[in-house]
Amino acid sequence: MSWAGIASNQCISWNNLKDAVDTGVFMGAEAAVPPGSKQVTRAEAEQYAVINAITSKATNQLPVKSDLVAKSGVYKWNISDNGDTSLNACSLFLDPNTIAWTNTATPTTGTVFYADYNFTTIFPMSGYTGLFLHYRAFGDTGAGFRARFNLSTSTINNAPAAC
């Protein structure tokens, strides 16, 4: 059944949650929502959809449709798996599975990239060898941007440039 087809007081199946992400009701988190008729727990809903924390339920309890509210002010990015020089940064591969999150739609100097949509952990860049990274909005097919990053704080150091 579709997301629109369930009442606000009904529990949510994997198929319902998948439909809500696929139709843009919620932004998907890191992993794709698996299909299925099993009911989704609070922890599972928060893992697969970018939503506000469901504080009225324990993590193992079943939320109802009205418990799920899209989280605002969250932006999802594809980011290169490594860095390079400024001139070469735009040619770095953007792996669709390398995801970072920001709280701004237009990253500028000082923007921090996070590993999770709740902004609790900075994006891990300890293995990166070059300072200039390539990134673009998740789902966008454009060229994206390049910027110099402080690898220890996952923060943009200079004004991003379009690729």
The answer to whether residue 30 scores a pLDDT higher than 80 is no
The whole-angstrom distance between residue 111's C-alpha and the CA centroid of its chain comes to 15
The answer to whether residue 31 scores a pLDDT higher than 80 is no
Q: Two tokens at 134?
A: 């390539």
Identify the residue with better confidence: 87 or 39. 39
Residue boundaries of the structural domains of the chain: 14-67, 73-163
CB atoms within 10 A of CB 23: 11
The answer to whether residue 139 scores a pLDDT higher than 90 is no
In this prediction the pTM is 0.85
